[in-house]
Amino acid sequence: MTSAHNPSLIGRLLWSLCIMQVVVLVTAIAGTLYHIIDDQFTFMDDEVIEALEESIAVQPQGLAFTSSEPLRQLQAANPGLWVVIADGNGRRNELGRVPGEYRELANYLPALGISQIRTLPEHRQLTMRIEVKEIQGQRVHIMVGGVADLSFNSLIVQATGLLSPYFLTPLLLFTLLATPIVVLRAMRGVRKLASRAAALDISQPDAHLPEDSVPREIRPLVSAFNAAMERSSKAYHARDRFLRDAAHELRMPIAVLMARLDGMPAHPLKPMLQIDLARLATVAEQLLDLQRLQAPKVEFQPVDLVALSREVVSDIAPMALARCDDLVLEAPEQPVWIIGQASALSRVLTNLLQNALVHGAGAGTISLQVAADGSVAVADQGPGVAPEDREQIFQPFYRGKTEQPGHGLGLHLVQEIVRAHNGRISVEDAAGGGALFRVQLPLVRA
């Protein structure tokens, strides 16, 4: 969960870029305003052109001024207002008294483009502006003067109007569209690295993250992670070697003790010692099985899951029927072919059935169900597995709150074998009460 003390790096980059661009924008506008205010130039507001545009009519006999309310207000506020209008056909009209300084220039109005002459405040009557507008399908050139403004609000509006087409609009588009795209693309390598880290199998000896596909600033962190993974891998494999060696060393003394116990005369303690020694032998074999899973994978072969299940049930039936009411195998008549190693999968089924015998309360029916989709389910009618234990029940040496004999390695071994076969295992409540362990294995591809 993201906290306020750990903000998003992308969010910080976006905010920083936006703030920087706002500062640049404000500085540019302030500089423009300073230039205008410092030189005390006059200028003409856009509202003057808008009022004139509404008052010009294109008629068959030429251009004319109509008596509109905006024009009347403009004339009332500016008694010295003068206007010259002309089109490309040489038609022309005037309003007010055109200064002599601009009368000759007005003759060339159809050839002039958008422009403005700004004057000092004492000569504001000479401020002049030329605009080209499309009015009633005709291109009309408008020359206007006798109107000038120096108010601060008008300066801001004028500066914003000058900057908007060339500066404000591109900057806003870049801020809202381009900046997030650029930042997200720059962080794409980090997202890929996070996905690789999430899928990393630390049990593999060469588990590491690539360092060549991440930004240079993050590479030291990846290098430190890989170094830590290498140290962890060395410790992990050292532990594996110790467990393997210890299990091998235990097999011989256990075999000798079993032979000696078998040769001893009958005694009340003899059965108990044999049971305890059998448990010790089981632990040693399970440890060896775990180590075998770490060895290079044996090439898998097609295995008939139905035939394998029948073989396991046949082997375990004598012991099972002595400890439960019934042992049932439910399987289709036709084979169910999966890819795997028969001996390892036999250990899976045997461990699941033994687990059901131990934790099934010694009563009821134990069932082994094989489905055509490559799944196997082992169910008992015992107390089941508590929901809080289902996430940890496959951890090594975890036994929950049970008082039944065991060492917590059987289910862990089952999970490791299933994973090695690219399968999955889960535990749930059985339909009639008790626990149901379901194993899904990949079928042979047709």
Residue 200's pLDDT band (cuts 50, 70, 90): confident
- Residue 39 vs residues 34, 161, 376: alpha-carbon distances, Å: 8, 19, 90
Q: What is the dihedral of CA 287, 290, 296, 298, to 10 degrees?
A: 110
Residues 113 and 260 in one domain: no
- pLDDT surpasses 80 at 236: no
Q: Which CATH number characterizes residue 420's domain?
A: 3.30.565.10
Residue 86 belongs to some domain of the structure: yes
Q: What distance in Å separates the CA atoms of residue 261 and residue 274, rounded to the nearest whole number?
A: 7
Residues 14 and 72 in one domain: no
Pair 36, 161 in one domain = yes
Residues 410, 364, single domain; the answer is yes
pLDDT digits (tens, 9 = 90+) for 25-73: 777 767 766 665 545 567 777 888 889 999 999 988 889 999 889 889 9
CA distance 205 to 98: 92
Summarize pLDDT for 148-196 with one digit per residue, the tens: 765 556 666 665 666 566 666 777 777 777 777 777 777 777 777 777 7
Of 121-135, 399-413, 432-446, give the lowest mean pLDDT range. Answer: 399-413
Return the sign of the alpha-carbon dihedral for residues 319, 322, 323, 329.
positive
Nearest to 392 by CA among 382, 401, 383: 401
What is the DSSP secondary structure assignment for residue 196, as one 8-state letter? H
Q: How many CA atoms lie within 13 A of 114 on its CB side?
A: 9
Quote the pLDDT of residue 377.
92
Query: pTM of the predicted model, to two decimals?
Result: 0.46
- Look at 177 and 76; give whichever has higher pLDDT: 76
Percent of the chain with pLDDT over 90: 17
What is the average pLDDT across 424-446?
A: 86
In-domain check, residue 3: no
pLDDT over threshold 70, residue 139: yes
What is the model's pLDDT at position 1? 43
pLDDT at 182: 75
Give me the half-sphere count of Cα atoms (radius 13 Å) on the Cβ side of residue 298: 13
Of 260, 291, 322, at which residue does a domain stop? 291
Q: And the tokens for 48?
A: 């003057």
Are 63 and 57 in contact, with CB atoms under 8 Å apart? yes
Contact 149, 162 (CB under 8 A): no
- Kindly report the CATH number assigned to the domain that includes residue 246: 1.10.287.130
Q: Which of 249, 267, 291 is the last residue of a domain?
A: 291
DSSP string covering 128-166: EEEEEEEETTEEEEEEEES--B--HHHHHHHHHHHHIII
Q: Judge whether 163 and 32 are in contact, CB under 8 Å.
A: yes
Average pLDDT over residues 361-384: 85
**The pair of three-digit structure tokens given for residue 426, joined into one six-digit string:** 């889960």
82 and 14 fall within a common domain:
no
* The pair of three-digit structure tokens given for residue 438, joined into one six-digit string: 């379901």
Residue 23 in domain: yes
Residue with the bigger pLDDT between 236 and 347: it is 347
Residues 177 and 316 in one domain: no
SS3 of 270, please? Answer: helix
**What residues have CB less than 8 Å from 423, skipping those under 6 apart?**
439, 440, 441, 442
Average predicted confidence (pLDDT) for the chain: 78
Smallest CA-to-CA distance from 146 within 199, 102, 114 is with: 102
What would the two tokens of residue 410 be?
């059987």
Answer yes or no: is 1 within a domain: no
Query: What is the arithmetic mean of pLDDT over 396-400?
Result: 60
- State mean pLDDT over 8-22: 75
Residue with tokens 């289709």: 332
Residues facing 301 on adjacent strands? 340
Q: Which residues contact 224 (CB under 8 A, 6 or more apart)?
A: none
392-415 mean pLDDT: 66
In a domain, 162, yes or no: yes
363 located within any domain? yes
Neighbours of 251 (CB within 10 A): 13
Q: Would you state the pLDDT for residue 304?
A: 93
Domains identified in the chain, total number: 4
d(CA 417, CA 286): 12
- Tokens at 36, concatenated: 């205008």
Please check whether residues 247 and 392 belong to one and the same domain: no
What is the amino acid identity at position 410?
A: G
| Per-residue confidence (pLDDT) for residue 2, from 0 to 100 | 44
Cα(244)–Cα(48) distance, rounded to whole angstroms?
94
Helix (H, G, I), strand (E, B), or coil: what is residue 381?
coil
Q: Of 207, 206, 211, nearest to 193 (Cα)?
A: 211
Residue 416 to residue 394: CA distance in whole angstroms:
9
Q: Does 108 reside within a domain?
A: yes
Based on the domain organization, do 328 and 359 belong to the same domain?
yes
Shared domain for 162 and 18, answered yes or no, is yes
* Same domain as 90, residue 53: yes
436 and 305 within one domain: yes
pLDDT at 306: 92
357 with 233, same domain? Answer: no
Tell which of 247, 276, 291 closes a domain.
291
The reported pLDDT for the residue numbered 273 is: 77
Structural domain including 224 reads: 219-291
3-class DSSP state of 320: helix
**Does 446 reside within a domain?**
no
Q: How far is it, in rounded angstroms, from Cα 267 to Cα 278?
A: 17
Is there a contact between 144 and 159 (Cβ–Cβ < 8 Å)? no
- Give Dmax over CA atoms of the chain in angstroms: 141
